[in-house]
Amino acid sequence: MLILAAVVFSNYTELKEKRTLETEANKLIARAREVMERSRSQADGEQWGVHLANPSGDGNDFYEIWKGSSYASSTITEKIPFESSLKFSNPADNSSKDVIFMKATGLPTMSSTIVIQSLSGGGTATINIDPIGRIDYSFN
């Protein structure tokens, strides 16, 4: 009975971790598409971007939505923390990455790959944003 309970609990935990990873990746994708549209429509007369931050330590990664000519001189409109069970592996530890969408076209200034991983080994999500604004993703 204990063995069966352990197997069921293990499968439930793994499924829950995968669901959390998929949910957070889908939220980030939705936000990137929203920011792309804000740049295209020139909301507030600005270009828009997403700043992805992977500070030191686990469980404290986040991303920010910003508007302006660059992240350094931007106005941050929103800060979104990740679930504490997830982290970026791209950008790497102690680094950050900006995904910038050009004003009027909404196209990204360059291709970007974002990788989110479960801290407990529940998988990874890879998000690719190409130069023509196509966003695709995969879960492993």
Q: Could you state, in order of their start, the residue ranges of all structural domains in the chain? A: 2-139
pLDDT at 122: 77
Structure tokens at 109: 């200034």
pLDDT at 121: 80
CA 46 to chain CA mean position, Å: 22
Please list the ranges in the chain whose pLDDT falls under 70.
Answer: 1-2, 4-13
pLDDT at 15: 78
Tens of pLDDT along 37-67? 999 999 999 999 999 999 988 889 999 999 9
pLDDT at 5: 60
SS3 label, residue 105: coil
Structure tokens at 26: 């889908």
Topology (CATH) of 2-139: minor pseudopilin epsh fold (3.55.40)
pLDDT at 57: 85
How many other CB atoms are found less than 10 A from the CB of residue 2? 6
By the 10 Å C-beta count (0-12 exposed, 13-18 middle, 19+ buried), 18 is classed as: middle
